[in-house]
Structure 1
């Protein structure tokens, strides 16, 4: 009996081990069902689409960005009035530069006097040549008037000679007719030999007078031509003299203008040499002294960089955050931004600044803590060469103020989330899974070397 009773109990225990209780099986099926349903449910849940980007704080106004202070003249640095990280005011002295030549100002003054003398002489020559031109014009007119009178006299002489020639021709024709009549009458014996001879002599005399009158006409015509030629010669000679004097005027004017330009350049140089103290153009901080300040008297050339000043940025509207968005996010960002602009609004953003702790719940910005409000003010039209696009974020006046510019300076790192439309979580995951690979920087890109200040050996 004991043997038969023990065996069924052992079998029952084994059966319990192989078949878990109903509650455990139900819980297992419930968990499995939850795992299968959860992805589907999550894929249709609403999701605040946002693009993450990182960047830094900058000044939107170019005049409030870092500025290079350059040497206005060649010379040696005689004294520094500031040090790095020192706050300066506009107009405050920064450094003094001394010219290597102590007599440079006196030499420049002598050069200025010489140029002014050249300019004065050129102006005087210009005035003299202008007076000469006026005198030549008056002389030309007088000479042309006299030549015109001579031409008129020659033409009157020609007119008289022409009339005399006409009379002589008429008399010669009358004498010819009379001679033919006398000749015929002599042949018929109607007139004497003496009358015939007189008629012949009269004809010869009239022919001689006609030839003399014709020669007089030719001489008078030659006189008219000579008078006309003389008048043209007078005009041409006078015009040549006037043109020569005018060219001299232009030459004097050009020389005077050249002297004026040289004088202006020299005055600028004198002004720079006279004010050899470099002053700060803006309120700000001395970020870096580039020139070799440790070795006093270092030589610099005009245009060499002496230091870098970071201007103070005042007002929330003049500080912006530049964020660099991935290329996969740029098309949708630009499209959504253009739609917002058409409606008179823009894209909102949440910004976290380095040094300010914050918690940002991606997809649910309403429960974020420690972030600052912003809005998109511009998106670059071209990438930065690495497949990223720059987005400028300005302060949202409806949100709390950003940290002060004293605490949050230019170059401070920041990260932000650009808030777009509400989409399903499944769509957002699908978009991210289809992203392009990141673009790496070109290997041949190398940082530019800083400008070196040459020191004389």
Structure 2
């Protein structure tokens, strides 16, 4: 047991004893042990190697701007396909004819409908001009009646003033005659008393009686004139009211006719606007019989094929793939990883059809992948609870393939911070999210000139 300080290995040979020979360790076992120890030490060392955390997502190639994504060309009107001008896979420029439609609504069957609408518009314009002229004539008539009424009222008012002045004069004359009559009556009564007493002659009494009767007659005449002046004053006042009533009646009738004419004019204007609107709509509808390409691109699919096949309003007819130059990759990320992604993060992208060997934690040794930058981060989930991000090419990295087709599959890794490999293994085993990305203050965000 090697308890003594004196060794017996030099004195005793192990080959002479069977038991010692069976206890000898084989050389292969030693070699295996050495390899296992070496691998273990190498594994321990590798655990402390730097590993760049990343968030993986799958998606497809798309366009950054919506107008460059595949789109369906819809028909604005219902119609029947009469002629196809393109075939699937053909490249078309903006404004090229895709197909021609024929009308299926009986309302628009008349080939001269546009001309007839133009004639109706011309007739309505003439009718409107006549009604405007009539309204102007009625306005002039109302002004003339108002002037005539003012003149007649002035005349009647002058006559009323004259009658009032005459009434004043006649009333003064009437009062004067009454005073004179009273004086003559007193003289006649006093002289009659004197005549009865025999103090005056009969001739003088008769002369006074004649003057008394004459004064009485003048009183009656003055009273008649006074009453006649009163009647003339009342008549003059009635004439003023009659002039006002007569002319107001004429003016009201003219204004009523004017309002009716203006109302008819406005109705005609409304009908004219409606006809013009219908004429413009018909012009636009005639242009819709030809379905044109909205932009440059390739015809990839025809939803309607047969000649004579009918389509509805807003129904897609053909699909066009634009000639996009602003390609992007739409990656779908789990909600748990979304708070760690920001605009400007670096991304490694692998495209279907391009062989690649991707080491997600060591992007520097990856082969066949391409660089990208996070350009858009959606704030709401897109499909199946996943969030979408848009990745554009990294201008500082290798350019993306020119033959990359929209809709092809892609994988991406959003690169985060560097951590030891053991930490990443521990995180993956526990299902924890990556460490929060510490934003570099010197990071240059990609500026989207199209926004």
The answer to whether the superposition gives a TM-score over 0.5 is yes
- The Cα of 1:393 is off from its aligned counterpart by 0.5
Of the three residues 264, 286, 290, the one matched with 2:299 is 286
User: Which ranges of structure 2 fall in alignment gaps of 5 or more residues?
Assistant: 1-15, 195-204, 434-451
- Pair 81,396 (structure 1): closer, same or farther in 2 beyond 3 Å: same
CA distance in 2, matches of 1:372, 1:208: 127
- The Cα of 1:236 is off from its aligned counterpart by 1.6
CA distance in 1, matches of 2:424, 2:174: 130
Tell me the residue number matched to 1:55. 59
Describe the SS at the equivalent of 2:359. Answer: coil
Tell me the residue number matched to 2:271. 255
Aligned residues of 2:345 and 2:414 also touching (Cα < 8 A)? yes
Aligned residues of 1:169 and 1:210 also touching (Cα < 8 A)? yes
Tell me the residue number matched to 1:330. 338
Tell me the residue number matched to 1:66. 70
Of the three residues 219, 223, 240, the one matched with 2:256 is 240
- Pair 156,49 (structure 1): closer, same or farther in 2 beyond 3 Å: same
- Pair 79,226 (structure 1): closer, same or farther in 2 beyond 3 Å: closer
CA distance in 2, matches of 1:262, 1:11: 116
Aligned residues of 2:304 and 2:317 also touching (Cα < 8 A)? yes
Tell me the residue number matched to 2:356. 358
CA distance in 2, matches of 1:151, 1:358: 107
CA distance in 2, matches of 1:114, 1:374: 61
Tell me the TM-score normalized by structure 1.
0.76
Describe the SS at the equivalent of 1:328. Answer: helix
Aligned residues of 1:144 and 1:234 also touching (Cα < 8 A)? no
Describe the SS at the equivalent of 1:68. Answer: strand
Matched, 1:297 2:328: no
- The Cα of 1:424 is off from its aligned counterpart by 4.9
Tell me the residue number matched to 1:343. none
Matched, 1:418 2:414: yes
- The Cα of 1:60 is off from its aligned counterpart by 1.6
Tell me the residue number matched to 1:220. 236
CA distance in 2, matches of 1:333, 1:288: 37
Tell me the residue number matched to 1:380. 378
CA distance in 2, matches of 1:113, 1:93: 26
Aligned residues of 1:108 and 1:270 also touching (Cα < 8 A)? no
- Pair 272,393 (structure 1): closer, same or farther in 2 beyond 3 Å: closer
Name which one, 1 or 2, has greater alpha-carbon Rg: 2
Of the three residues 398, 401, 405, the one matched with 2:399 is 401
Aligned residues of 2:149 and 2:243 also touching (Cα < 8 A)? yes
Describe the SS at the equivalent of 1:135. Answer: helix
- Pair 177,421 (structure 1): closer, same or farther in 2 beyond 3 Å: farther
CA distance in 1, matches of 2:259, 2:93: 61
Aligned residues of 1:347 and 1:418 also touching (Cα < 8 A)? yes
Tell me the residue number matched to 1:205. 221
Cα deviation digits, residues 352-375 of structure 1 (max 9, x gap)? 111212222232222222111111
Tell me the residue number matched to 1:117. 119
Describe the SS at the equivalent of 1:163. Answer: helix
Tell me the TM-score normalized by structure 2.
0.76
Q: How many residues align?
A: 399
Matched, 1:319 2:315: no
Aligned residues of 2:64 and 2:392 also touching (Cα < 8 A)? no
Aligned residues of 2:381 and 2:388 also touching (Cα < 8 A)? yes
Tell me the residue number matched to 1:447. none
Of the three residues 167, 170, 185, the one matched with 2:169 is 167
CA distance in 1, matches of 2:180, 2:99: 122
